[in-house]
């Protein structure tokens, strides 16, 4: 079935609004596969918004009378109230949200309802509704990301000098500060916010007025409807306007990247909460217990966020597969564009809310983190750097000698700052007692004063800069 222009002929209740061409009703299975009202009713408010803009334009252009326009608006306002108070009679008989609203409008205002669809097709109607819906969600994600970034910033501000181990390959590498770690995720989520903003800018063009695929012979004003709906301009090609879904693909792609960042942070929370790490605690608000093991406190919220990236990534693949082989312009395959987007955006919305809650709730166990930061010879690089700075040794030679010192300390079962000075001197005679000034995790972190480094002084600078941005 092509989503072509609706007929303006009077329809009896129960007759398909597109049924003038057909002499029999669809097969029951055809009806079942064709109906989309169960999910596209989420576009109801956007559909009403688009219809009000369209009818206003029709009146301004002299295509319908002011009386008809006012009746249409009054009817649409009543329908909006019914939808918001959950009393609207959604029906499978009128397969999608557009026909459900139009049928209800006809019940309320009579024949004037039939004039609403002048110079419009469901093809440009649904494209407009969907863009409006995605745009609303992108705005919502930007607000949620800002709240998450504020939560991360608060934790960073509270922990500019909280020492913890930094990892590569999930092996202790060098000491860092917990505040620095929090700011790393803040930077990631800021890029996500930027991606959503970029996506919004590209999608913010109006398809309305493209009609079925070729435009319309009515003297419409597409700039009027575009401006009324908050779009930057009308889409310049009617074929592209009704068939493009790259705005949804781009939004899903940005959502997928954002969900990946949420998943990575969730993974760290799961690790940090384990008995083997105990780096952080979460309260009962964001943990659950075990049905059989009374001692357990499970980070289920983090685990569920970690899992939701699969749904979001799957939605991106699903819509890509729908669109990859479609010729211009509209094909019924595109009815399958909404459910994956709805599901993915619901998942991301929930994930952002839960992560913000967890970050606000999370408390670092500072002494445990500090102790762990000194394990596994994490200041070995500082030792090598000392050789380079103090005795002008080439770094590769310094790296080799440091490796020998680490091996000796490991053999003796001591940390680098516990190894006696005479053992150092046996390996490198130029070493002095000053070497101990760089071997503690605190001194290691404080020394990383390069821009973007983990030194508390640098973290404080970044916290100040972000406070200015987010305040």
pLDDT of residue 177: 97
14-23, 70-79, 103-112: least confidently modelled range: 14-23
Q: What is the pLDDT of residues 166-222, one digit of tens each?
A: 998 988 888 999 999 999 999 999 999 999 999 999 999 999 999 999 999 999 999
Catalytic residues: 169, 290
pLDDT of residue 295: 61
For residue 66, the surrounding DSSP H or E stretch is: helix 66-84
Q: What is the pLDDT of residues 26-75, one digit of tens each?
A: 667 766 787 888 888 999 999 999 999 999 999 999 999 999 999 999 99
Using alpha carbons only, give the angle 373, 375, 378 rounded to the nearest 5 degrees. Answer: 70
pLDDT of residue 389: 85
Nearest to 156 by CA among 136, 179, 176: 179
Nearest to 162 by CA among 454, 463, 417: 454
CB atoms near residue 136 (< 10 Å):
13
3-state percent breakdown (helix, strand, coil) of the chain, nearest 5: 65, 5, 30
265 touches 192 (CB < 8 A): no
CA distance between the termini of the chain: 52
Q: Report the SS3 class of residue 46.
A: helix
């Amino acid at each position: 079935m092509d989503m072509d222009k609706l007929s303006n002929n009077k329809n009896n209740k129960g007759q398909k609004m597109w049924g003038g061409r057909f002499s029999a009703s669809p097969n029951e299975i055809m009806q079942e596969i064709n109906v989309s009202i169960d999910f596209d009713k989420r576009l109801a408010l956007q559909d009403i918004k688009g219809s009000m803009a369209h009818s206003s334009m029709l009146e301004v252009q002299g295509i319908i009378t002011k009386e008809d326009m006012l009746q249409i608006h009054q009817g649409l306002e009543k329908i909006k109230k019914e939808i918001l108070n959950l009393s609207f009679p959604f029906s499978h008989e009128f397969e999608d949200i557009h026909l459900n609203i139009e049928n209800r409008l006809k019940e309320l205002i009579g024949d004037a309802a039939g004039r609403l669809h002048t110079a419009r097709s469901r093809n440009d109607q649904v494209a407009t509704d969907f863009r409006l819906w995605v745009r609303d969600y992108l705005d919502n994600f930007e607000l949620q990301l800002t709240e998450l970034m504020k939560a991360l910033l608060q934790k960073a501000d509270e922990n500019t000098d909280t020492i913890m181990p930094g990892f590569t390959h999930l092996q202790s590498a060098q000491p860092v500060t917990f505040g620095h770690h929090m700011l790393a995720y803040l930077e990631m989520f800021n890029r996500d916010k930027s991606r959503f903003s970029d996506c919004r800018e590209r999608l913010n063009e109006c398809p309305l007025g493209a009609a079925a695929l070729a435009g319309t012979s009515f003297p419409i004003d597409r700039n009027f409807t575009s401006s009324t709906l908050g779009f930057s301009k009308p889409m310049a090609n009617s074929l592209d306007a009704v068939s493009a879904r790259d705005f949804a693909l781009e939004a899903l792609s940005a959502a997928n990247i954002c969900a990946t960042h949420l998943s990575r942070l969730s993974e760290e929370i799961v690790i940090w909460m384990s008995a083997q790490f105990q780096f952080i605690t979460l309260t009962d608000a964001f943990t659950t217990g075990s049905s059989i093991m009374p001692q357990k406190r499970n980070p289920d919220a983090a685990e569920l966020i970690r899992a939701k990236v699969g749904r979001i990534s799957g939605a991106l693949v699903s819509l890509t597969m729908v669109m990859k082989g479609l010729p211009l312009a509209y094909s019924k395959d595109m009815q399958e564009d909404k459910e994956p987007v709805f599901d993915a955006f619901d998942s991301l919305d929930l994930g952002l809310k839960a992560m913000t809650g967890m970050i606000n709730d999370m408390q670092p166990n500072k002494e445990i983190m500090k102790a762990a930061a000194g394990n596994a010879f994490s200041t070995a690089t500082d030792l090598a750097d000392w050789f380079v700075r103090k005795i002008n040794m080439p770094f590769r030679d310094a790296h080799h000698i440091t490796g020998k010192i680490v091996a000796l300390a490991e053999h003796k079962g001591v940390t680098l700052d516990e190894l006696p000075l005479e053992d150092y001197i046996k390996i490198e005679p130029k070493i002095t007692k000053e070497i101990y000034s760089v071997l503690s995790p605190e001194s290691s972190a404080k020394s990383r004063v390069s821009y973007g480094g983990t030194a508390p002084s640098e973290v404080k600078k970044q916290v100040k800069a972000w406070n200015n941005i987010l305040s």
